[in-house]
Amino acid sequence: MTPTDPQLARRESEELLSFIDASPSPFHACAEAAARLKGAGFQELAETAIWPAKPGRYFVIRAGSIVAWAIPAHAKPHTGARIVGAHTDSPNLRIKPRPDTGAVGYRQLGVEVYGGVLNNSWLNRELGLSGRAVVQAKHGREARLFKVDRPIAVLPQLAIHLDRAVNDNGLVLDKQAHLTPIWGLGRAREGEFKEWLASELGVPPDAVIAWDAMLHDVQPSAFAGANHEFVAAPRLDNLNSCFCALRGLLTRLEEKRELEYVAVMCLFDHEEVGSQSHRGAASPLLKDALERIVLGRGGSREDYHRAIAASVCVSSDMAHAIHPNYREKYEPDHWVSLNAGPAIKLNTNTRYATDAEGEAHFVAACERADVPYQRYVHRSNLACGTTIGPVTAANLGIVTVDVGNPELSMHSVRELAGARDAAYLIGALRAFFE
């Protein structure tokens, strides 16, 4: 089947929605990716261990980030890499360290806004909780994932009778005052959330040391549209790209033809807040992995620099599809559409990393895969967002191209994308790994 086949598009989108629903946090996204990698013969490595010298398939997880690579049997230490990067995090509401609060007979959870949230989209949604907690276990501290998919909290909107001008003046939400979810009735009690979380983890409250906890919409992902043209889901930005990177790598490895380059997939946490962390794209995680891949197989520093010079990176993050009700917000000569293939993202101020050389690499991959592609440029009088692309290009000196599937409602609690586009991007990335 080719990427244009409707049955393949449907199947890949079904898998995409399953991947998203299994991944309400960056930690779960890495766990889900790891399970699929292991099923394809990848071996998990510890960063503290000596990595194998022989060619093969490997991955390493650092909290909410994961790097996976496949080394072909013929590869020399200086063989270049074909790298696809994306990010596992999405804007959301995260639980504060002392979250037990409330007023006028309601128990509430103190939250902090993570990333560029569309605040109003979190109103009137049934919210679950996920993330990881560090607990004191019998043999020392350990991190445990948790995923509560039942509705435990909600942010009710103020009734229109009490805010008569809201439809004319717009809704303004104060992040401190108006985004405190309700999760029960009664008087707030210090330590209640910790006790509740401990019960979900099956440990005593005193065993819970710390948490990285975040709210998520519990409504399942779904197809939408009269003819199922769309997929509606949370976290399409950027789990769509994570899934397509993973599927592109695995479908390429299913082929009998040997890889020409080292194939690398890197999915980073913390892109939505600037990538400045020990596991973000600005960290040495990818650089260290690439260096260890070379040096561990007997290569020298010279071999490492030769390999970097021979490498190319695709940074995959979602793109802004043209919105029929707000056409004036878009660059008029660079509209991109749903179900018309991935968009190559360009910005002369390097908010995207794409240059002519990187663009040519991705165009060639699309043409080999018979995948349509588009070009996106942000409107000149609006501030442009950014991706892991410029960070990766600057850190490593690797030719990088920014691409992404188009979507609507970016940074909403629920987003909308084309049901055919996942198969298109998977096909393009599979060809890129060639």
DSSP 135-188: EEETTEEEEEEEEEEEEEEB-PPPPGGG-TTHHHH-----TTTT---EEEES--
Residues in a beta bridge with 230: 224, 418
CB atoms within 10 A of CB 224: 14
- What local confidence, expressed as pLDDT, does residue 138 receive? 86
Sites in the chain below the pLDDT cut of 70:
none
List the helix and strand counts (H, then E) for the chain.
10, 20
Domains and CATH numbers, the chain: 6-90+234-432 (3.40.630.10), 92-217 (2.30.250.10)
Read off the pLDDT of residues 138-155 as tens digits, 9 standing for 90 and up.
889 999 999 999 999 999
As a whole number of angstroms, the distance between CA 118 and CA 124 comes to 13
- What local confidence, expressed as pLDDT, does residue 8 receive? 94
Mark out the alpha helices in 208-311 (DSSP H runs): 236-254, 285-295, 301-309
> What's the Cα-to-Cα distance from 389 to each of 85, 89, 310, 401, 427, rounded to whole Å?
8, 15, 17, 7, 20
In terms of pTM, does the model score above 0.85?
yes
Read off the pLDDT of residues 179-214 as tens digits, 9 standing for 90 and up.
999 999 999 999 999 999 999 999 999 999 999 999
- What local confidence, expressed as pLDDT, does residue 4 receive? 82
Tokens of 159: 């009734």
- What local confidence, expressed as pLDDT, does residue 434 receive? 83
DSSP 95-134: EEEEEEEEETTEEEEEEEEESS--GGGGTT--EEEEEEEE
CA-based nearest residue to 430, from 78, 70, 79: 70
Return the SS3 of 67.
strand
Say if CB 290 and CB 304 are below 8 A apart. yes
